[in-house]
């Protein structure tokens, strides 16, 4: 079946499988009989082979996880806080080192807790980093960012690889969230879907024909810069911050609520927005004014995306989905407005089931996919599906 899926000869597949079995990268399961009567041997990735690190640099404080080779998160940390001026490169390295050391000490104390036969630092196999920035898909260099100017020109994958002696991969965090949603969430196995990241930043992850679409150099989905009205073309520019970042990103929403004295100016962003949504649900007129701005921008944006890309599904994800009454305040009105605008049945517009953890899940899934692709360097025409099983021979 592997030979057929990848259009390879059976002997070539058998040779590759023998190498992977010898390295204990995979193992054989009990023979099973197919519907046609043929007996085959399923092969499964060795989930105890080691662990990978996933890092989300969009959330603030950043989030860091360690996962096994099945993608299961076995440890989670809330990392350091970030601001717009302070370069976090060295803090990222040091915090990751501390996280790894603490995990290795835990393994030494009880290796069987994570089904390991050893407690070596060598069990950490790779690192995946999601950044709130445009990343060159070929080099890993940050090409543009709306939030952190110090990230420009940085190659976090290269720097982390040097520091840890491990493969390290970097990509836009919204792309990672889209990967996670397709492999673990509501978009599983759909060929055409889009993922809207509504967090500290705004972004779009795009799947076309079952493959993540990065664009010509990696900037596809940078919707934070999108003007949603003619008036926006003449707005005063706020540095690198785009229109949608100011209007519907979490920090922008909280700032509007504070300027209008709807919430206390001293409240943190998440708490301020939580209070704002509660007031809007209670029909507070000023809170509903901000809700209406969010909704109108989402309607313009989503209608354009649906008409241009014709996806099977639109997923709303990120920190915003953690706010109260999200379905009543935004999701249902958005669906209603879209159906009135678009002349055909709209695709389902749904809330991410992964919530605010989509970024770290995506960092893990991307890292595992790239590692496994190196082990077995043949790819089919479809995206790697989330399964420990890699096929049968």
Q: What is the pTM of this model?
A: 0.84
Q: Which of 44-53, 111-120, 254-263, 328-337 bottoms out in mean pLDDT, i.e. has the lowest?
A: 111-120
> Which ranges of the chain would DSSP assign to H, the alpha helix?
2-6, 10-22, 89-109, 156-164, 173-184, 243-248, 250-259, 269-281, 285-309, 326, 332-341, 358-375
For the segment 286-338, what is each residue's pLDDT rounded down to a tens digit? Answer: 999 999 999 999 999 999 999 999 999 999 999 999 999 999 999 999 999 99
Q: 3-state DSSP: the chain helix, strand, coil percent, rounded to 5?
A: 45, 20, 35
Q: Which of 21-25, 248-252, 355-359 bottoms out in mean pLDDT, i.e. has the lowest?
A: 21-25
> Are the beta carbons of 46 and 24 closer than 8 angstroms?
yes
Q: Is 24 left (phi over 0), alpha (psi -120 to 50) or beta?
A: left
Give the closest residue to 360 by CA, choosing from 306, 316, 317.
Answer: 317
- Give the Cα separation of 172 and 157 in Å (integer): 12
Tell me: pLDDT of 31 over 90.
Answer: no
Q: How does residue 384 score in pLDDT terms, banded at 50, 70 and 90?
A: very low
Q: Which residue ranges form the domains of the chain, and what is each CATH number?
A: 51-178+357-374 (3.30.420.40), 186-353 (3.30.420.40)
Q: How does residue 240 score in pLDDT terms, banded at 50, 70 and 90?
A: low
């Amino acid at each position: 079946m592997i030979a057929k899926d990848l259009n390879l000869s059976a002997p070539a597949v058998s040779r590759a499988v023998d190498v992977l079995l010898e390295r204990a990268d995979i193992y054989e399961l009990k023979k099973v009989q197919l519907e046609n009567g043929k007996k085959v041997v399923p092969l499964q990735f060795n989930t105890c082979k080691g662990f990978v690190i996933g890092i989300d640099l969009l959330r603030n404080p950043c989030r860091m996880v360690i996962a096994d080779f099945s993608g299961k998160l076995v440890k989670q940390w809330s990392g350091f806080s970030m601001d717009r001026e302070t370069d976090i490169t060295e803090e990222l390295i040091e915090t990751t080192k501390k996280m790894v050391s603490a995990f290795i000490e835990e393994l030494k104390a009880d290796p069987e807790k994570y089904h390991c036969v050893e407690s070596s630092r060598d069990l950490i196999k790779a690192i995946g980093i999601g950044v709130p920035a445009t990343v060159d898909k070929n080099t890993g260099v940050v090409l543009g960012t709306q939030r952190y100017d110090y990230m420009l020109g940085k190659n976090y994958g290269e720097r982390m690889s040097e520091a840890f002696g491990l493969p390290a991969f970097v990509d836009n965090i919204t792309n990672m969230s889209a990967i996670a949603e397709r492999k673990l969430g509501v978009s599983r196995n759909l060929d055409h879907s889009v993922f809207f990241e509504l967090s500290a930043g705004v972004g779009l992850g795009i799947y076309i024909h079952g493959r993540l679409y990065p664009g010509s150099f990696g900037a596809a989905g940078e919707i934070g810069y999108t003007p949603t009205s003619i008036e926006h073309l003449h707005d005063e520019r706020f540095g690198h911050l785009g229109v949608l970042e100011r209007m519907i990103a979490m920090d922008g929403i909280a700032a509007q609520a504070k300027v209008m004295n709807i919430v206390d100016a001293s409240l943190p962003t998440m708490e301020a927005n939580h209070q704002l949504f509660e007031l809007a649900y209670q029909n507070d007129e000023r809170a509903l004014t901000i809700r209406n701005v969010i909704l109108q921008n989402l309607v313009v944006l989503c209608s354009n995306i649906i008409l241009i890309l014709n996806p099977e599904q639109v997923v709303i994800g990120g920190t915003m989905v953690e706010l109260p009454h999200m379905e009543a305040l935004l999701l249902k009105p958005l669906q209603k407005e879209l159906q009135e605008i678009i002349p055909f049945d709209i695709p389902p517009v749904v809330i991410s089931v992964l919530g605010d953890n989509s970024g770290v899940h995506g960092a893990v899934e991307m890292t595992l996919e790239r590692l496994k692709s190196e082990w077995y360097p043949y790819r089919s025409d479809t995206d790697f599906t989330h399964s420990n099983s890699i096929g049968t021979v």
